[in-house]
Structure 1
Amino acid sequence: MEGKRCLVTGAAGFIGSHLCRRLASEGAEVHALVRPGSGPERIVGIADRITIHRVDMVDRGAMEDCLKSVEPDLVFHLATPTRGLGEPTAEASRSSVDTILLPLFDLVDILASLPRPPVNVVRAGTIAEYGHIAVPYREHQHEEPVTPYGAAMLAGTKYLGLLASRLPFPIVSARLALTYGPDQSRDFLLPSLFEACSRGNEIEIRRPDDRRDLIHVEDVVDAMICLAGDPRPGASHVNICTGIAPTMSEVALMVAEAMDADPGIVRLGKTRTGEEVSHLLSDPGMAAQVYGWRPKIGIREGIGMLADHFSGSLKAEVRSRG
């Protein structure tokens, strides 16, 4: 990445901030697109090594001005909102088009019109594009998303495939499994588990038998950078995952063990009679075969790494209060 001019959308987000940090450490010239009003907490530590652009992606004019001034070599598109897009309502569906699809179309259109288009574009997709089909998910399967978020993300993948032959640059969607790691919002399960264990609070796992393919953010960053290398013909979307899906009860007990907490604080709910157990699991075969990418961090190791980070953060918090 040395000397590459990289544009990262969603740069202040969980995955985007980790990607910016890695790119900067590898000598890239990093341009971070940050939505006005969003907190810069995750990237404040590298603010002196990156250029921050406060741009709302729904504002095409502002996007044009920004992209023309940057003229990136590589683009990483991670600005995809998820909140409020879980329930299949008409309002959520309209919102998913406005906030996910239209900005994507504008981004691609503006990049294609630059005097010097980028060499490659990598877009963060999601395991939610697959929806209610048999596992493990493979790239050739017919998807059946069950949320407006998954449907909009899938539509983006399909449209990009449709436009591929007309674009002056390759673009690939990385279908990410459920990503975890340092600085993730505590609205998500793993950070909330660590919070509970650190304070000795009881926490209920309402669906303990559900299985999830969980991937560490460092592996995701490795994959995004790998995909940004030499384009691979025919790979319009690629699963970025571990290929392993532990139950939520197994994950919760691993967190309690890593935090030296009483496992009794983890209360396991019961699957209701007739309730279907949810199983989200992707096959990483294509990423290995086409790109030579494989995940390096297993779930137990990743939870151990996160426990060390969380413990360090708590100690720093206590010192600051003292």
Structure 2
Amino acid sequence: MAMRTLITGAAGFIGSHLVRRLLDRGDELHLLVRPETSLSRLEEVIDRVCLHRLQLGDEAALAACLADAAPHQVYHLAAETRRTAQADFAGVELTLREDLPNLIALLAALATLRHPPVAFVRAGSIAEYGTAPVPYREDQKEDPSTPYGAGLAAGTMYLRVLEGVLPFPAITARLALVFGAGQSEAFLIPALIRACLEGRPFHVTRPSDRRDLIHVDDAVDALLLLGESQPPGCNVINIATGMAPTMREVTEQVIDITGADPALVRFGNPALDTGASVLLASPDRARSLLNWSAATTLRKGLELTVAAMLRAPALT
């Protein structure tokens, strides 16, 4: 069913994939992006959408945008996903200055609409669970270990607190580590693939780390389902595969798919890699409430990503 849809962070990796899927469905799309944001991921579809360049903290501009869009559903994907570890308070300050105020500003503005949206879907991350026991489940206590994870977890908690006053249902989709075509090569998988394709050396520093990796097509499938029908009484849901291969296993598959020389890739010493971390979430709730599960295997997702990167220039 075609709807008027508003997407924040629409020019990003996941957002650009969501845009295309919603256009295929026939939705009228309103994309909210920052004034300085590059639109390179949206070049071929930009004439099919209504673009709003503004800061979410600009109350007047946001009100005008929402009045024009009158959205039936909202996808809030606007949050920085690649942050380097900070030895000081920089990461915390960025979260407090941007991510949380932007979320609250958007919720407050939507709540004042004469006809509020019927669905609000926010992208979170399994990083919110941090060092909690795996596999992560939605009803367990979060234990974030980074400012990024703590900031997202705080946003999830604010949504819970506001549940009784918001005139629309809101849910946080805690996404596993998403990969696929169009992802910045600042991330491990596309950086590794590019190095293999170009025959350059690459160092996997933490080969024993295990990560729940989900292909972007599967993540978008789940987001679309949540926009169409949010499960009653559910404000958090994991969107994950329930599997967490090691980075060594992922790297070996990339080498095999690209045909790269294995000697080009150097691994950290597993014997010294005693601090290996695991990010792994249970998809049971999504399977039960949405009848959703990841359909793309890791191998197939990597093959699709390699094929896309053979056709596309590098992304930063």
Q: TM-score range by the shorter chain?
A: over 0.9
Note closer, same or farther for the CA distance 1:82–1:60 as it changes in structure 2 (3 Å cut).
Answer: farther
Match of 2:274 in 1: 275
Question: What does residue 79 of structure 2 align with?
Answer: 80
Partner-residue secondary structure (3-state), 1:228: helix
Alignment partners' CA distance in 2, 1:62 and 1:89: 33
What is residue 166 of structure 1 aligned with on the other side? 165
Superposition TM-score, scaled by structure 2 size = 0.96
The answer to whether the 8 Å contact 1:85/1:147 transfers is no
How much has 1:84 moved relative to structure 2?
4.1
Query: Which whole-Å deviations, capped at 9, do the CAs of 1:57-102 have from their partners, x for residues lacking one?
Result: 2322221111122110000000011344643633321220111111
Alpha-carbon separation, structure 2, partners of 1:159 and 1:152: 11
Q: Which deviations, in whole Å up to 9, do the C-alpha atoms of 1:268-302 show, x marking residues without a partner?
A: 11146473111110000000111111110010110
Matches within 5 A, 1:109-124: 109-124=108-123
Q: Which position in structure 2 is the counterpart of 1:212? A: 211
Letter in 1 for 2:49: I
Stretches (4+) displaced over 6 A = none
Q: TM-score, normalised by structure 1?
A: 0.94
1:2-26 per-residue CA deviation (whole Å, 9 max, x = no partner) reads: 2x00000001000001000110011
- Structure 1's unaligned 5+ residue stretches are 318-322
CA distance in 1, matches of 2:71, 2:84: 31
Separation in 2, partners of 1:275, 1:163: 41
Match of residue 60 from structure 1: 59
Question: Which whole-Å CA distance do the structure 2 matches of 1:192 and 1:114 have between them?
Answer: 43
In structure 2, distance between residues paired with 1:73 and 1:239: 24
* 1:244-283 alignment, distance < 5 Å: 244-271=243-270, 273=272, 275-283=274-282
Cα distance between partner residues in 1 of 2:60 and 2:157: 26
Aligned AA for 1:197?
C
1:87 and 1:147 in contact (8 A); partners too:
no
Q: String of CA shifts for 1:159-190, please: whole Å, max 9, x gaps.
A: 10111121110000000000000011010001
Q: Distance in 2 between matches of 1:82 and 1:223?
A: 19
Q: Deviations over 1:27-64 (max 9, x none)?
A: 00011111111110001111121111111123222211
State the alpha-carbon separation in 2 of the partners of residues 176 and 8 from structure 1.
17
Taking the aligned partners of 2:139 and 2:87, their CA distance within structure 1 comes to 25
| Identical-pair percentage | 44
Alignment of 1:145 onto 2:150: no
CA distance in 1, matches of 2:98, 2:84: 10
Q: Distance in 2 between matches of 1:84 and 1:265?
A: 27
The worse-fitting range, judged by mean Cα deviation, of 180-189 and 86-95 is 86-95
Higher mean C-alpha displacement, 113-122 vs 74-83:
74-83
Give distance in 2, aligned partners of 1:85 and 1:218. 26
2:210 corresponds to 1:229: no
The alignment partner of 2:200 has SS state of: coil
Q: In the alignment, which residue of structure 2 is the partner of 1:45?
A: 44
* Whole-Å separation in 2 of the counterparts to 1:249 and 1:85: 22
SS in 2 for 1:124: strand
Matched residue SS, 2:124: strand
Aligned length: 314
Q: Which residue of 1 aligns with 2:184?
A: 185
Report deviation, 1:313. 2.6
- Residues 133-180 of structure 1 deviation map (CA, whole Å, 9 limit, x = unaligned): 111100011111011111111011011011112111000000000000
Corresponding residue of 1:307:
306
Cα distance in structure 1, aligned partners of 2:137 and 2:232: 18
SS at match of 1:24: helix
Give, as a single letter, the amino acid of the residue that structure 2 aligns with 1:119. Answer: V
Aligned residue identity for 2:151 = A
| 2:292 alignment counterpart | 293
CA contact (8 A) 1:85 1:95 kept: no
In 2, Cα distance between equivalents of 1:46 and 1:131: 37
Q: 1:274 to 1:26 in 2, by over 3 A?
A: closer
1:9 corresponds to 2:8: yes
